[in-house]
Structure 1
Amino acid sequence: MNGATPSTGPASAREAAYRRLRAEILSLELPPGTAISEKDVSARFGVSRTPVRECFVRLAQEGLLDIYPQRGTYVSRIDVHLVEEARFMREQLEAAVVRLAAADGLDPVSLAELEANLLLQQSCLDDGQDGSRMYRLDEEFHARLFAACGKSHTWSVIGSAGVHLNRSRRLRLAADPDWRHLLEQHRAILQAIRRREPERAERVMREHLQLVRLDRARLAELYPDYFRID
């Protein structure tokens, strides 16, 4: 009987190129407005230009690339209108989920995982200003909360719709490295869940998500080439 082996064909090459390039855009390793080409990405990733071309189309459909025939391809600028729409959607869904968590209670394992995440956030603050790590821990805290309530698919939908929001959040963490308030709010959310206080849990979550509102003037001044405001 032949054993199954991982695919190494065109489909896997296309998916690998897509995932890698998408991660570079979302992490701001490739900043908004950066010009990229199929030739350069193909050489850098060690794949043919066909899977790169296909992943360019896919990323353009997600709003992460702008493709101009005969002119070139660029990492899309952050659209402030899409940022606000995604923030609004996330606030409504997260408020509902945290209310559910506090009303119904969470199992001991989920509570322990959330507490462990907060300890890692504290460690991140103690060790220095690592914005990328703090962003990942922040996302993990919210993802674990959704998973604990059986709403992992809802979290995936938020992620898919929030590519502009997530890039702006990374910029905000870089522009304002005092993240103590962020951690304090996470602690307050978990405390409200433990105490079975749904109204307080929802209120703190809504306040928490107001932190991600785009300060247009400040961020536009710090990163004038990164945003699309019109």
Structure 2
Amino acid sequence: MNFSVKPQPVSTRDAVYLTLREQILLCELAPGTAISEKEISLKFGVSRTPVRESFVRLAQEGLLEVYPQRGTFVSLIDPELVEEARFMREQLEKAVIRLACESFPDDRLAELDTNLAEQNACIVQQDYRKMFELDEAFHRTLFEGCRKSNTWAAMQHINAHLNRSRMLRLAADHHWDHLYLQHLHMAEAIRERDAERAERLMKEHMSLTIQDQALLKQKFPTYFK
């Protein structure tokens, strides 16, 4: 497991926080893993203060659980929080894609096309981290193109458990053609200004998370509450 802090133009505290958060979201630090301030400070080569502050932030986000006398652990994925985040995201995503069908900048459509080409290439490369990043970028572009960047940012605050579940799904099954095709058809619907089709596609896309939960609990039983 690689605990090295990636070079970033941020404070030591933020670098530790961002690196730990990324490793948790990527499941490099698996749900249920025990971690300590001393261990992390030694491996990062920093004092315990920024590590302690990072632990507090991650606990506030629900990514760490602190148990007195027992220690600190990466939180298990909570199916209820996954579903709540999925529910909120579905409502917002359906609303945004309808807006996109009314008006969407040409340069943003071009971004979607570039993203889709990269997704198609990623299917061949079998890079699940890159596929996750491209999936996120596709949806973020929808919000940005509809001038709803703050809505996207606000949505991220409850996405942690959902995103870990999505990451596990990509890692567990590398058959991603259906994801690519759904994204492709969404872009087509936006270009054709077909709001009904776009919303239906988005709803089907968001429902994949529900279908995936049974598979993931069976494959990674110790990762879930």
User: 1:209, CA displacement in angstroms?
Assistant: 0.9
Measure the CA separation in 2 of the matches of 1:220 and 1:212.
Answer: 12
Matched, 1:205 2:202: yes
TM-score (norm 1): 0.91
Instruction: Report SS of the residue matched to 2:209.
Output: coil
Measure the CA separation in 2 of the matches of 1:143 and 1:179.
Answer: 19
> 2:102 corresponds to which residue?
103
User: 1:218, CA displacement in angstroms?
Assistant: 2.1
User: 1:211, CA displacement in angstroms?
Assistant: 1.1
User: 1:161, CA displacement in angstroms?
Assistant: 0.9
Please identify runs of 4+ aligned residues in structure 1 that moved more than 6 A.
Answer: none
What is the identity, as a one-letter code, of the residue corresponding to 1:64? L
Equivalent of 2:119, from 110, 121, 130?
Answer: 121
What is the identity, as a one-letter code, of the residue corresponding to 2:148? K
> 1:64 corresponds to which residue?
63
The question of whether the paired residues in 2 share the 8 Å contact of 1:80 and 1:214 is answered with no
> 1:138 corresponds to which residue?
135
User: 1:175, CA displacement in angstroms?
Assistant: 2.0
The question of whether the paired residues in 2 share the 8 Å contact of 1:168 and 1:214 is answered with no
User: 1:64, CA displacement in angstroms?
Assistant: 0.2
> 2:26 corresponds to which residue?
27
Measure the CA separation in 1 of the matches of 2:213 and 2:166.
Answer: 12
Q: How does 1:29-68 map to 2 (within 5 A)?
A: 29-68=28-67
Identity of aligned residues (%): 58
User: 1:73, CA displacement in angstroms?
Assistant: 0.5
Unaligned residue ranges in structure 1 (runs of 5+): 1-7
Larger-Rg structure: 1
Instruction: Report SS of the residue matched to 2:65.
Output: strand
Name the count of aligned residue pairs.
217
TM-score (norm 2): 0.93
Matched, 1:91 2:90: yes
User: 1:69, CA displacement in angstroms?
Assistant: 1.6
User: 1:214, CA displacement in angstroms?
Assistant: 5.4
Q: How does 1:181-196 map to 2 (within 5 A)?
A: 181-196=178-193
Instruction: Report SS of the residue matched to 1:225.
Output: helix
Instruction: Report SS of the residue matched to 2:210.
Output: coil
**Superposition RMSD on alpha carbons, in Å?**
1.3
Instruction: Report SS of the residue matched to 1:67.
Output: strand
Equivalent of 1:158, from 152, 155, 158?
Answer: 155
What is the identity, as a one-letter code, of the residue corresponding to 2:114? A
CA deviation map 1:81-130 (0-9, x unaligned): 000000000000000000000022x1111110110000000011123x21
Measure the CA separation in 2 of the matches of 1:215 and 1:115.
Answer: 27
What is the identity, as a one-letter code, of the residue corresponding to 2:153? S
Most deviating of 151-160 and 191-200: 151-160
Measure the CA separation in 1 of the matches of 2:172 and 2:16.
Answer: 30
Matched, 1:220 2:209: no
Most deviating of 213-222 and 80-89: 213-222
Measure the CA separation in 2 of the matches of 1:150 and 1:183.
Answer: 24
What is the identity, as a one-letter code, of the residue corresponding to 1:108? D
> 1:3 corresponds to which residue?
none
CA deviation map 1:134-158 (0-9, x unaligned): 1111011001111111111111112
